[in-house]
Amino acid sequence: MGFPVLPDQLPQLLLAQENGGLVQQELSLMILLFIAAMVAIVVRRIRLPYTVALVLVGLVLSFFPNFLGFTVSSDLILAILVPPLIFEATLHIPWRSLKKDLLPVLLLAVFGTLVGTFLVGGLVVEFLGIPWPAALAFGALISATDPVAVIAFFRSLGVSKRLTILVEGESLFNDGVAIVIFNLALAAGTASSSLGLGEALQEFSIVAFGGVAVGLVMGYVVSYIILKNVDDHLIETATTVALAFGSFVVAESFGQFVGVEGLHFSGILAVVAAGLMVGNIGTLNTSPTTKLTLDNFWEFLSFVVNSLVFLLIGLEIELSQLRPNIIPIIVAVVAIILSRGVIIYTFGWVYGRFQPRNRIPLNFQHVMYWGGLRGAISLALALSIENAVFGSDVALELRVMTFGVVLFTLLGQGMTIEKLIQRLKLADKPPQRVELQRRQATLFAKWAGQHELGRLRDNGILFRDIWESMNQVYDEEILEKKANLRAHLQDFPELEQEMYLQAREDALNAERSAIGEASRRGLISNEVHDELIIELNNRVAALDLIKKNRGLDVENKEVHHG
């Protein structure tokens, strides 16, 4: 038997329930982050993509529906998790490199997404009998590629920077394009009359170009007014966070700001444009300290958000629904595989005919084809389909098909893309660099062995005459290894410069740690600490500039030979 709730007690009761829900959400978030950290530790020891491992763990957790009580919605993914991911990715895309391949990127992102939407939609209509608006909505949402798992492999394997730009650039732009087409398909499904082609193209142009314009304007304001004139790394970092989320909100709700009901632009494309503006212009207007702070902060935030996204993908996919709908899932998987092949190889051939000097190599196209994974965007759009639009049965079928495709691409393609890259020899390192690593490793091993001999002698385990004879052998071997390393560096002087730059970076990091330790011990004041750190950051920035210029030279050679 409960106690009656008096009217004056109702606000307090509602507040307590709200706080209880907030605490539950915080607890769930903490558990997810802890799980992500544990997964990151485990995958260091096994050859498995971090994002794939997160999905697998999420699938296991999905068998315990009341374990977290965490509600996954399309708004959570699209409005909260996706903007920082996209913003962080665009921060590190140099416009100089993107501009060289902007035409193929836009061809794949815009026209490729349109072709993929109709190809997938047509196959779904033909084999499953789904109405055209619903089929086009599915074709659009499933055309948004997610390269996170693939890019992680690119960085670890040392794949060509041009290939990275092509894959990541296409994904960043086709996310926004896919969302625009998806919304047009929903509008066609809810309208009493069919949406005309001219009207659809007009709406597409307004939403897409409007989003880019919003992002460019907001990115320009932040880059030239705030980042250039405010010399405070905390304020500048907070401003970039506000820009990442603000550009999305302003674009999506643009009509409310200007008083035009129903007017909205692409928030994803706005974030892409804003990130490119800050990454290529805004960071040039900041101090080295601010740039380092921005890099560290966004790297951390990207890790957290990525971890949550792929855990939530695993949590949201209900394996029990996949088995009864295996036929629609197979049709969907075959459709996206066929359409992806048509898009990549057709547009790659067409672009090569018009730009033979800058053609996309065939082995690049193979990776772009198999690396077209689907992830957060597709899942979020599928979750946003309301039962009233196409009917509850069709909406459920579209969601299950999306779950199946996402699961297939992340587990099937995501776990085999590394072998494909290695088989195509896109991760092969120059033999001179491999030989350098071999000679360095043998030299370090000899040093380690000699050091251990000294420890055994100091502890009285080895007699002095035994130590002297063994140590003499090590001295001779170390001299020989040093001579071999020096000869190799003389044959390949560019490797010596790389060693110098790496050693210089390690030394500057050691200096930074020493300054921080001196401050913690109270040996220097905060003012002296800040002064020394600023001076050190300027030297780090100069070193980064040298390394960046070297990287661009190497990239130009790769593009020329490609």
Does residue 249 belong to any structural domain of this protein?
yes
Does residue 108 belong to any structural domain of this protein?
yes
Q: For residue 554, what are the contacts with CB-CB under 8 A and spacing of at least 6?
A: none
Asked if residue 103 lies in contact with residue 355, where contact means CB atoms within 8 angstroms, the answer is: yes
DSSP letter at 229 equals T
- Please count the helices (runs of H) and the strands (runs of E) in the chain: 26, 0
Asked whether residue 368 falls in the same domain as residue 489, the answer is no
Q: For residue 314, what are the contacts with CB-CB under 8 A and spacing of at least 6?
A: 54, 55, 56, 57, 58, 59, 60, 61, 62
**Crossing angle between the packed helical segments 161-190 and 376-383, to the nearest 10 degrees:** 10
Here the CATH number for the domain that contains residue 278 is 1.20.1530.20
Asked whether residue 364 falls in the same domain as residue 312, the answer is yes
Asked whether residue 451 falls in the same domain as residue 391, the answer is no
Last residue of some domain: 423, 455, 476? 423
The parent domain of residue 478 ranges over 431-561
Asked whether residue 105 falls in the same domain as residue 249, the answer is yes
Report the C-alpha gap between 399 and 381 in whole angstroms. 9
Asked whether residue 63 falls in the same domain as residue 96, the answer is yes
Asked whether residue 265 falls in the same domain as residue 385, the answer is yes
Helix (H, G, I), strand (E, B), or coil: what is residue 419?
helix
Cα R_g (the chain), whole angstroms: 28
At which residue do the structure tokens 């776990």 appear?
A: 415
Does residue 319 belong to any structural domain of this protein?
yes
DSSP letter at 193 equals S
Last residue of some domain: 405, 423, 441? 423
Query: What is the model's pLDDT at position 153?
Result: 65
Does residue 162 belong to any structural domain of this protein?
yes
Query: What is the model's pLDDT at position 314?
Result: 81
Asked if residue 493 lies in contact with residue 532, where contact means CB atoms within 8 angstroms, the answer is: no
At which residue do the structure tokens 């320009």 appear?
A: 220
Per-residue model confidence as pLDDT tens digits over 415-452 = 888 888 888 888 766 677 777 878 888 888 888 888 88
Query: What is the model's pLDDT at position 331?
Result: 95
Provide the β-strand partners of residue 367.
Answer: none
**DSSP code per residue over 37-62:** HHHHHHHTTSS--HHHHHHHHHHHHT
Asked whether residue 319 falls in the same domain as residue 297, the answer is yes
Asked whether residue 371 falls in the same domain as residue 444, the answer is no
Does residue 6 belong to any structural domain of this protein?
no
Does residue 496 belong to any structural domain of this protein?
yes
Main-chain dihedrals φ then ψ at residue 45, nearest 5 degrees: -100, -15
Last residue of some domain: 423, 440, 468? 423
Q: Which residues of the chain have pLDDT under 70?
A: 1-21, 65-71, 148-150, 152-153, 155-158, 191-196, 428-430, 547-562
DSSP letter at 1 equals -
Task: Label residue 522 left, alpha or beta by phi (over 0 means left) and psi (-120 to 50 means alpha).
Answer: left
**DSSP code per residue over 254-316:** HHHHHT-TT----HHHHHHHHHHHHHHTGGGGS-HHHHHHHHHHHHHHHHHHHHHHHHHHHHH
CA atoms 35, 40, 45, 46: torsion sign = positive
At which residue do the structure tokens 């960043």 appear?
A: 172
Q: How would you class 242 by CB atoms within 10 Å of its CB: exposed for 0-12, middle for 13-18, buried for 19 or more?
A: middle
Does residue 12 belong to any structural domain of this protein?
no
Asked whether residue 143 falls in the same domain as residue 238, the answer is yes
Asked if residue 451 lies in contact with residue 474, where contact means CB atoms within 8 angstroms, the answer is: no
Report the C-alpha gap between 133 and 138 in whole angstroms. 9
Asked whether residue 389 falls in the same domain as residue 437, the answer is no
Asked whether residue 221 falls in the same domain as residue 304, the answer is yes
Helix (H, G, I), strand (E, B), or coil: what is residue 129?
coil
Residue 41's identity, in one-letter code, is: I
Domain count, the chain: 2
Query: What is the model's pLDDT at position 122?
Result: 93
Main-chain dihedrals φ then ψ at residue 145, nearest 5 degrees: -85, 155
Report the C-alpha gap between 212 and 267 in whole angstroms. 9
Query: What is the model's pLDDT at position 113?
Result: 93
**DSSP code per residue over 331-354:** HHHHHHHHHHHHHHHHHHHHHHHH
Query: What is the model's pLDDT at position 561?
Result: 44
Asked whether residue 186 falls in the same domain as residue 286, the answer is yes
Helix (H) or strand (E) holding 171: helix 161-190
Does residue 387 belong to any structural domain of this protein?
yes
CA atoms 46, 419, 157, 56: torsion sign = negative
